[in-house]
Amino acid sequence: MPVEKKLRRSHQRDQIYEYLCQSVEHPSAEMVYNDLRPEIPNLSLGTVYRNLKLLEELGKVRRVISYQGSERYDAICGDHVHFLCGCCGRLRDVKNVSTEAIRSAVLLEEGCRITKLDLTITGICPDCTG
Ligand SMILES: [Zn+2]
Ligand SMILES: [Zn+2]
The β-bridge partners of 119 are 81
Nearest ligand, measured from the Cα of 61: 2
**Ranges of the chain with pLDDT below 70:** 1-9
Q: In percent, how much of the chain has pLDDT > 70?
A: 93
Centre of ligand 1 to C-alpha 91, Å, is 9
pLDDT, mean over the chain: 91
What is the tens place of the pLDDT at every residue in 48-58? Answer: 999 999 999 99
Residue 3: the pLDDT is 55
Delineate the domains of the chain, giving CATH numbers in brackets. Answer: 3-74 (1.10.10.10), 80-125 (3.30.1490)
Alpha-carbon distances, residue 52 vs 49, 75, 116, 119 (angstroms): 5, 10, 20, 21
CA-closest candidate to residue 61, choices 120, 71, 109: 71
d(CA 40, CA 11) in angstroms, rounded, equals 10
What is the tens place of the pLDDT at every residue in 63-79? Answer: 999 999 999 999 999 99
Which residues, chain by chain, have CB under 5 Å from ion ligand 2?
74, 76, 93
Nearest ligand, measured from the Cα of 84: 1
pTM above 0.85, yes or no: no
Alpha-carbon distances, residue 61 vs 55, 94, 116, 127 (angstroms): 6, 18, 14, 28
Nearest ligand, measured from the Cα of 118: 2
